[in-house]
Amino acid sequence: MTNISRNVDVSESRRLAPHRKNDVRFMTDSSPRVLRAVELYCGIGGLHCSLKRALADAVVVASYDVNPLACDTYAANFGRRPSGKDIRSLSAAELDAHAADLWLLSPPCQPYTRNGLQRDKDDGRASSLLSLLQVLRQMRHPPSRLLLENVVGFETSEMRQDVLAALSGYTTHEFVLSPTQCGVPISRPRYFLLAVLQTRCGPDCKLSMPLPVTPYPHLPPPLDDEPPCKPLSAYLDDDCPALWLDFAVPWAAVRSSLLAVDFVHPGSSSANCVTKAYGKFAKGTGSMVVSNPTHVQRLFDVVMRDAAAHAAAAGVDVSPITDGGKAGGLGHAIAAHVPDWPADAPPLRYLTPDEIARLHGFPPEFFFPEHVTRTQRYALLGNSLSVDVVGCLLEHLLADWTHINAGNSF
């Protein structure tokens, strides 16, 4: 874990202005002592919801994202459409004009994912963050605070070194955290960086206290103890036959990867991270739901029974494989000899988009526009973040905001 403090002479000038608009306020008029935030790579609004949770009176003065469906969803929920401008085209003058106190960033993760090409800052998708770092150095009034979120793997990247170099005038704290550490039953470890200008990091600033020397991951800073995870049932839709039918997992989706599926049930205390490919592929994209923990074994029993029966009808002896064989052989036997779900197999379904949104910490009133398809909703949620974790970190980052700004106008 890293705690970095460096001093530079950075001029600070703030013009603060609130305007009530939905939950987090948007700026249109003048008033002091209200935090102004810019969302970069805002997505469907996870950063926005996190800021609302941490500091309800904050104003969002600008938001940016190039994904039209993410912008549609953001606009539907918050009443203002993000700019679709390419972040690489943003100038220091344009960002200075926002007079932002806080930057919230969730840049593309593909350059750093462990399953990707790991091209790091040489990946074209990293170019917008590199551009932002260059612009940050040129700004007359840089943000006094910053939060950056990315995948695990960013903490060992060359890009992280570039980020820390650009933040040489800031005190920084870094974390790798998962929603399970906030009591939410989904594993989604992510890298987070918090930064405060050294000139604004006084004794009441939480970042002025060095992090304990412990391995990753640290607990979320406002929590003394890691709470137990709630059962998954707290986040699931009301159970009904239509739910299992509408979100049933087709056999084709798991035929070649059934042994790699993570099964959860309403009593489970953790589910696997949902990726943007959820609903398209089974392996490594997220957990699938059974109604009862005993149904997992029953599902495999009836599938292996049918594998043996179909193989026998074809004159193939699969008993060496099915009787304690290796997983690879079992998987091959299932894929080769089971044409469809057995009629008596217990039902298996996907998590719904609403359930995933709850697990991510989005508020009950959050919704997707009707034209956004189910597949697109899964993709947008897979690219989003945990409001529970980011809200917790923003409370930590902004804990001294009201105190240091009382009676001040910038």
Active site residues: 109
Tokens 């009591």 — which residue?
183
For residues 133 and 169, what is the distance between their CA atoms, to the nearest angstrom? 13
* Angle at the Cα of 379 from the Cα atoms of 373 and 381, rounded to 5 degrees: 100
Alpha helices in 261-293 (DSSP H): none
Closest CA to 107 of 47, 144, 148, 153: 148
Q: How far separated are the first and last CA of the chain, in Å rounded? A: 34
Distance CA 43, CA 372 (A): 14
Q: 374 exposed, middle or buried (CB, 10 Å; 0-12, 13-18, 19+)?
A: middle
List C-alpha distances in Å: 288 to 250, 263, 348, 355.
12, 5, 7, 12
Beta-bridged to residue 288, according to DSSP, are 263, 350
CA distance 262 to 271: 8
**What is the rounded distance in angstroms from the CA atom of residue 107 to the CA atom of residue 113?**
12
- What single DSSP character describes residue 41? S
Identify the sign of the CA torsion 388, 390, 394, 396: positive
| CA separation for the pair 176, 351 (Å, rounded) | 25
Q: How many CB atoms lie within 10 A of CB 356?
A: 23
